[in-house]
């Protein structure tokens, strides 16, 4: 009798767990790794609501949302990917795409994209960032060009009724604005060894000299600039920091946090920056109404960094169809209009053309500079970025002249390209 | 009992001799999977040219990575030198500060709030390293950082500076933050050692007319020598392989002034994806620590045994 009851209980447990596993098997969980933190961004709050809405509309699919910072996200994607795992849906900076493709951790979605009837709503310039060697690896989600962000009140106080439009004007305005209010400097920029925002400011300056970072010739990558062109860029930084003393003297090595805060606190009058600065509206208080954006001052060319963020499918995802369904839904017109309404800028043209986006005074200068926008070249950029910042710091600390730094930067790039070309 | 007798003799002997070792299997399995395997794998990898971006192009290169590391890499030796200075300076100041604060907390003059003071001293150590380092990073900001604000309030504005961007001050600053974070561990451990020294020894010494220095030299210090050896060795290892403090404060910059071997390894592995080369850096760290710690023990364990 006792034996029978034990057997019966075991049978029940077995049946129950079988039933549970069947129910569980019908529900899948999509792992989504991105940077959208509702604690810090209004757009992220909207996105979080949309994730829940997607779950409601798709009862068999659960979303597990993992929020990371950009540097952690990059590291975790590499580690997981190399180990043969990773998320179903991943958020990427445009410059990560070549690296991740080469490592084999992001899915080729060319066929899916080419048959998607909404492809046309994304500009070619954004698809270019999601493409590597003619194959597409993600859908553009945020497309945000950089502007020259400036404090109109400081400039007016120094006697300028318009922002600088050329490098020479930038030098003059930055110098004159310095000290117009006690403790205020004319300009600020990033030059951290961590090389996140710094290269995004350095490259547009190089493009403005008429150069490229790299050029492709006969299937090989070659340096796209001359020593003179790089020297011009280093000389501009050197002038602003050391000759004209128009930047905070202790700002060498600033990363984006320091730069953004310095602008919010009114310590610098100008910097190159993006649409996310709107997040600081409350912190800036009254001074926010003096924040204006305009095109980056030009040299021979006009150019700005066009930051395109891409969402892709993990190579090792078991649920690629569901991940695609999620991606095309969250990056659909109605959804994108919600989660790029505040501090982000949408990649879709049909969202940009919505009246609420067109009439947004904050977003206007960003939309206006899109034609000047360029993205990083489609090669792995990590080593290049480090080299740029290393040489820039050498100039700022006066360890090298702009000409010497330009020469070593070119030499380093040649070495980096040798490996890439191999 | 009957069943036992049925078993062959050789099996019973074998079972008796080896049965204690079976209990070690879970331990060996975990240590093997989490420590030995990655270590051996890392050493093997160091003989390969392997870049994560070029998965099909792994190549066995023998000692080429080590040759490059020791004879061609311009950043390796400065990073190695920084690692040694960082370790020696950190361990030295941590020990002095830990010893000083432990003696103070153990002193009969500090009677009130002893436990509260011990708790307060422990604070920097219980805060997670990442939180600690990021707090310091913000406190050391040039303009609106707490440290410079404080200096200005006390009329010392002239020495306020970008502590993490000034080429001369960045390294001492990083050492200071590390010392601040780690010294409570010394305090607590030495304090535990101090409480084990019999009071009678002190009483006898004072009756014999010993002064404070003699008491410290001949009673207190020998009493904590064993504990000191252990914490110093532990901290040599922990500091030499410390990554998070420097990475979060400076990332190894500016101009590699705070580049140490762990940050250099990270850069090779996660920025450039050269995992083969990064493994050779890791293996070098491992071998260096084995030799250093071995030397330290051979030198100081005899002193410990004498006692």
What CATH number is associated with residue B180? 1.10.3720.10
pLDDT of A41 over the 80 cut: yes
A261 with B164: Cβ contact below 8 A: no
Distance CA B110, CA B116 (A): 11
Looking at the predicted structure, is the pLDDT value of residue A22 above 60? no
Helix (H, G, I), strand (E, B) or coil at A190: coil
Q: How confident is the model at residue B55 (pLDDT cuts 50, 70, 90)?
A: confident
Q: Kindly state the average pLDDT of the residues A240-247.
A: 96
The pLDDT assigned to B105 comes to 87
Q: Which of residues 296-355 of A touch B (CB under 8 A)?
A: none
Count of domains in chain B?
A: 1
Classify residue B223: in a domain, yes or no. yes
Beta-sheet pairing, B48-49 with B59-60: antiparallel
Q: Give the count of Cβ contacts less than 8 A between chain A and B.
A: 75
User: Which is more confidently placed, A414 or A1?
Assistant: A414
Domain-located, residue B299? yes
User: Considering the domain boundaries, does residue B132 fall inside one?
Assistant: yes
Given the DSSP bridges, would you call strands A304-313 and A139-145 parallel, antiparallel or unpaired?
antiparallel
Residue-averaged pLDDT of chain A: 91
Instruction: Find the domain containing B168 and state its range.
Output: 75-306
Chain B residue with minimum CA distance to A75: B270
Contact B164 A253 (CB under 8 A): yes
Q: Does A384 touch chain B (CB under 8 A)?
A: no
Q: Does A109 touch chain B (CB under 8 A)?
A: no
Q: With bands split at pLDDT 50, 70 and 90, how would you rate the model's confidence at B307? A: very low
Cross-strand pairs, B60: B48
Q: How far is CA A253 from the centre of its chain?
A: 20
Q: Which pLDDT score, from 0 to 100, does residue A317 have?
A: 94
Residues of chain B contacting residue A198, judged by C-beta atoms under 8 Å apart: none
Which of B41, B145, B162, B277 is the mutation pick for testing A, counting most A CBs within 10 A? Answer: B162
Report the C-alpha gap between A375 and B261 in whole angstroms. Answer: 33
Hey, are the CB atoms on A194 and B251 less than 8 Å from each other?
Answer: yes
Share of chain A above pLDDT 90, in %: 78
Question: What's the distance, Cα to Cα, between the start and end of chain B in Å?
Answer: 50
The pLDDT value given to residue B251: 87
Which of B162, B167, B272 comes nearest A382 by C-beta?
A: B272
Q: Is any Cβ of chain A less than 8 angstroms from the Cβ of B253?
A: yes
Chain B contact for A192 (CB, 8 A cutoff): yes
- A99 touching B (Cβ < 8 Å): yes
Q: Phi/psi of residue B51, each to 5°?
A: -120, 130
Lowest mean pLDDT among A128-142, A295-309, B195-209: B195-209
What pLDDT is attached to residue B13?
A: 83
Which residues of A fall within a CB distance of 8 Å from B254? 193, 252-253, 393, 397
On average, the pLDDT of chain B sits at 88
Cα nearest neighbour of B167 on chain A = A397
What pLDDT, on the 0 to 100 scale, is given for residue B257? 93
Nearest to B151 by CA among B141, A260, B169: B141
Does the beta carbon of B255 lie under 8 angstroms from any beta carbon of chain A?
A: yes
User: Does the predicted interface ipTM exceed a cut of 0.90?
Assistant: no
Q: Does A99 sit within 8 Å of B53, measured CB to CB?
A: yes
Measured between CB atoms, does B207 come within 8 Å of chain A? no
Residue A323: pLDDT above 90? Answer: yes
**Nearest CA of chain A to the CA of B254: how many Å?**
6
- Check if A266 contacts B (Cβ < 8 Å): no
Least confident piece of the model among A195-204, A284-293, B106-115: B106-115
Partner B contacted by A252 (CB < 8 A): yes
Q: Which residue has the tokens 């101090």?
A: B194
Give the 3-state secondary structure of chain B. Answer: CHHHHHCCHHHHHHHHHHHHHHCCHHHHHHHHHHHHHHHHHHHHHCCEECECCCHHHCEECCCHHHHHHHHHCCCHHHHHHHHHHHHHHHHHHHHHHHHHHHHHHHCCCCCCCHHHHHHHHHHHHHCCHHHHHHHHHHHCCCCCCHHHHHHHHCCCHHHCCCCCCCCCCHHHHHHHHHHHHHHHHHHHHHHHHHHCCCHHHHHHHHHCCCCHHHHHHHHHHHHHHHHHHHHHHHHHHHHHCCCHHHHHHCCCCCCCCCCCHHHHHHHHHHHCCEHHHHHHHHHHHHHHHHHHHHHHHHHHHHHHHHC
Residue range A240-259: mean pLDDT, rounded: 91
The pLDDT of residue B140 is above 70: yes
CB < 8 Å to B252, chain A:
193
Please check whether residue A248 touches B, CB under 8 A: yes
* CB pair distance less than 8 Å for B167 and A261: no
For residue range B223-260, list pLDDT tens digits in order: 999 899 889 989 999 999 999 999 999 888 889 999 99
Q: Would the pLDDT of A60 be above 80?
A: yes
Question: Which domains are present in chain A?
Answer: 28-145+307-374 (3.40.190.10), 147-305+377-421 (3.40.190.10)
Q: What is the pLDDT of residues A363-416, one digit of tens each?
A: 999 999 988 899 999 898 989 999 999 999 999 999 999 999 999 999 999 999
Cα–Cα distance measured from residue A1 to residue A3, given in angstroms and rounded to the nearest whole number: 5
> pLDDT above 70 covers what percent of chain A?
94
Residues of chain A contacting residue B143, judged by C-beta atoms under 8 Å apart: 183, 248, 250, 262, 265, 267
B66: in domain: no
Q: Does residue B174 belong to any structural domain of this protein?
A: yes
- Residue A186 CA to residue B168 CA, distance in Å, equals 26
For the ranges A25-29, A215-219, B281-285, which has the lowest average pLDDT? Answer: A25-29
Candidate from A74, A248, A397 with C-beta closest to B167 = A397
Is the pLDDT score of B125 beyond 60?
Answer: yes
Q: How confident is the model at residue B113 (pLDDT cuts 50, 70, 90)?
A: confident
- Stretch A219-239: mean pLDDT, rounded? 96
Q: Closest approach of chain A CAs to the CA of B133, in angstroms?
A: 15
CA dist list (Å): A420 to A106, A200, A203, A309, B59? 19, 21, 19, 23, 16
pLDDT at A258: 87
Q: Which stretch, A39-43, A85-89, B56-60, has highest mean pLDDT?
A: A85-89
Domain membership of residue B135 (yes or no) is yes
Give a yes or no: residue B261 inside a domain.
Answer: yes
Q: What angle, 0 to 180 degrees and rounded to 10, lies between the N-to-C axes of helices B221-240 and B170-195?
A: 140
CA distances (Å), A186 to each of A170, A182, A256, B101, B210, in order? Answer: 9, 12, 17, 47, 67
Chain B touched by A408 (CB under 8 Å): no
Lowest-confidence range among A43-52, B6-15, B158-167? Answer: B6-15
Give the C-alpha separation, A237 to B99, whole Å: 48
Report yes or no: B93 and B175 within 8 Å, Cβ to Cβ: yes
Residue range A272-293, pLDDT digits in tens: 999 999 989 888 999 999 999 9
Chain A touched by B78 (CB under 8 Å)? no
Contacts of A254 in chain B (CB under 8 A): 165
């Amino acid at each position: 009798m006792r034996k029978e009851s034990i057997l019966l209980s075991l049978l029940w447990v077995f049946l129950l767990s079988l039933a549970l596993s069947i129910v569980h098997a019908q529900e899948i969980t999509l792992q989504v790794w991105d940077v959208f933190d509702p604690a810090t961004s209004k757009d992220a709050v909207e996105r979080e609501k949309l994730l829940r809405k997607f779950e409601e509309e798709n009862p068999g699919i659960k979303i597990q949302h993992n929020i990371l910072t950009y540097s952690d996200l990059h590291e975790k994607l590499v580690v997981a990917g190399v180990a043969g795992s990773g998320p179903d849906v991943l958020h990427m900076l445009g410059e990560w795409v070549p690296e991740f493709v080469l490592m084999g951790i992001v899915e080729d979605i060319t066929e899916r994209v080419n048959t998607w009837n909404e492809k046309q709503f994304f500009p070619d310039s954004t698809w270019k960032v999601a493409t590597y060697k003619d194959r597409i690896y993600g859908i553009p989600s945020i497309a945000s060009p950089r502007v020259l962000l400036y404090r109109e009140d400081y400039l007016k106080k120094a006697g300028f009724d318009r922002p600088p439009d050329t490098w020479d004007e930038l030098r003059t305005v930055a110098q004159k604005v310095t000290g117009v209010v006690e403790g205020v400097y004319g300009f600020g920029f990033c030059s951290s060894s961590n090389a996140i925002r710094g290269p995004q400011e350095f490259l547009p300056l190089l493009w403005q000299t008429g150069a490229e970072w790299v050029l492709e010739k006969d299937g090989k990558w070659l340096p796209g600039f001359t020593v003179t062109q790089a020297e011009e860029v280093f000389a501009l930084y050197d002038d602003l920091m050391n000759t004209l003393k128009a930047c905070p003297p202790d700002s060498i090595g600033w990363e984006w946090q320091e730069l953004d805060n310095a602008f919010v606190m009114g310590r610098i009058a100008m910097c190159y920056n993006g649409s996310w600065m709107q997040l600081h509206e409350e912190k800036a208080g009254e001074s926010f109404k003096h924040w204006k954006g305009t095109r980056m001052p030009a040299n021979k060319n006009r150019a700005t960094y066009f930051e395109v963020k891409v969402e892709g499918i993990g190579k090792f995802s078991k649920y690629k169809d569901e991940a695609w369904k999620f991606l095309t839904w969250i990056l659909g017109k109605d959804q994108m209009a919600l989660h790029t309404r505040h501090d982000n800028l949408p990649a879709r043209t049909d969202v940009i053309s919505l009246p609420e986006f067109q009439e947004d005074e904050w977003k206007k200068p960003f939309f206006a500079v899109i034609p000047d926008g360029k993205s990083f070249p489609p090669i792995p950029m990590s080593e290049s970025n480090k080299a740029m910042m290393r040489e820039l710091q050498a100039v700022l600390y006066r360890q090298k002249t702009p000409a010497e730094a330009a020469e070593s930067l070119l030499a380093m790039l040649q070495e980096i390209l040798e490996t890439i070309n191999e | 009992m009957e069943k036992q007798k049925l078993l062959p003799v050789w099996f019973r002997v074998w079972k008796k001799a080896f049965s204690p070792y079976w209990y070690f299997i879970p331990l060996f399995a975990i240590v093997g999977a989490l420590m030995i395997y990655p270590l051996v794998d890392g050493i093997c990898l160091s003989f390969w040219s392997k870049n994560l971006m070029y998965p099909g192009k792994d190549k066995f290169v023998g000692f080429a990575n080590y040759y490059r590391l020791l004879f061609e890499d311009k950043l390796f030796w400065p990073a190695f030198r920084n690692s040694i200075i960082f370790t020696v300076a950190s361990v030295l100041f941590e020990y002095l500060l830990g010893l000083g604060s432990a003696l103070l907390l153990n002193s009969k003059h500090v009677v009130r709030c002893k436990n509260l003071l011990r708790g307060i001293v422990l604070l920097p150590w219980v805060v997670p390293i990442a939180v600690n380092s990021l707090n310091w990073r913000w406190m050391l900001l040039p303009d609106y950082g707490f440290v410079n604000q404080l200096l200005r309030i006390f009329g010392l504005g002239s020495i306020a500076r970008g502590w993490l961007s000034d080429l001369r001050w960045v390294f001492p600053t990083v050492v200071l933050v590390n010392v601040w974070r780690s010294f409570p561990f010394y305090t607590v451990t030495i304090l535990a050692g101090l409480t084990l020294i019999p009071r009678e020894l002190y009483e006898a010494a004072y009756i014999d007319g010993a002064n404070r220095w003699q008491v410290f030299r001949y009673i207190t210090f020998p009493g904590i020598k064993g504990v000191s050896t252990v914490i110093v060795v532990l901290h040599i290892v922990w500091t030499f392989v410390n990554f998070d403090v420097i990475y979060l404060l400076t990332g190894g910059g500016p101009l590699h002034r705070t580049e140490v071997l762990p940050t250099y390894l990270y850069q090779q592995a996660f920025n450039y994806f050269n995992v083969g080369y990064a493994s050779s850096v890791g293996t070098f760290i491992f071998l260096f620590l084995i030799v250093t710690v071995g030397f330290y023990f051979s030198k100081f364990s005899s002193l410990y045994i004498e006692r």
